[in-house]
């Protein structure tokens, strides 16, 4: 059994550890925990490790957020993995910070990375882990907020939240999506 885990984010030091790059940060912790490492590959930084007899292929697209679908399509086809065996890690403005929602499918909810994946795959039928970043920004400052760094208070909570996400990814590959949603969604 093979799985594709996709951490969404933007490449470049100016985007490192911003709210929009939480997908990259979660993927980094997952890969590090299992003693693997990323190497540059086609359209993405790529890592592979085995977990309980299953192959976990992890990518961080290097196509920038708005073109994430190109990397996703390539890796799904190259690895011959069905989209239902993929989990996309993404930030979500509509969800309060500290809350995590794992879903089997859904709209892009205004997220450009998901929008591009939906357009290129021609489907919204793939699991995603939405990491709440909240929407505590003044009117007209959404881009600055999303591409901004975490507050000190958020930084203190991030390690535990990311650990929870990593555990939910492991559960997704071991006990399936339905049970993972029941156990790991933080409401």
145-172 pLDDT, tens per residue?
999 999 999 999 999 999 999 999 999 9
Summarised one tens digit per residue, pLDDT across range 60-86 is: 999 999 999 999 999 999 999 999 999
| Contacts of residue 131, Cβ cutoff 8 Å, sequence gap at least 6 | 22, 23, 26, 89, 90, 91, 92, 95, 100, 161, 165
| pTM, rounded to two decimals | 0.96
Catalytic option among 20, 34, 57, 111: 20
Tokens of 161: 């939240």
Please check the confidence at residue 16 and state whether its pLDDT lies above 80.
yes
Residue 20 annotated among the catalytic residues of the structure: yes
% residues pLDDT > 90 (the chain):
93
The structural domains of the chain, ordered by start, are: 2-184 (3.40.50.1470)
Average pLDDT in the chain:
96
| Contacts of residue 122, Cβ cutoff 8 Å, sequence gap at least 6 | none
């Amino acid at each position: 059994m093979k799985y594709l885990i996709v951490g969404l984010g933007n490449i470049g030091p100016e985007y490192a550890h911003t709210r929009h790059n939480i997908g990259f940060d979660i993927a980094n912790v997952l890969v590090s925990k299992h003693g693997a490492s990323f190497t540059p590959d086609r359209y993405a930084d790529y890592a592979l490790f085995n977990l309980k007899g299953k192959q976990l292929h992890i990518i961080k697209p290097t196509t920038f957020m708005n073109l994430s679908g190109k990397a996703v399509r390539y890796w799904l086809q190259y690895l011959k993995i069905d989209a239902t065996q993929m989990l996309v890690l993404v930030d979500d403005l509509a969800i309060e910070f500290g809350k995590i929602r794992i879903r089997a499918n859904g709209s892009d909810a205004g997220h450009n990375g998901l929008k591009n994946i939906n357009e290129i795959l021609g489907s919204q039928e793939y699991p995603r882990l939405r990491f709440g970043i909240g929407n505590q920004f003044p009117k007209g400052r959404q881009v600055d907020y999303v591409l901004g760094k975490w507050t000190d208070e958020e930084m203190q909570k991030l390690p535990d939240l990311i650990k929870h996400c990593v555990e939910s990814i492991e559960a997704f590959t071991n006990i399936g999506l339905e049970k993972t949603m029941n156990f790991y969604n933080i409401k």
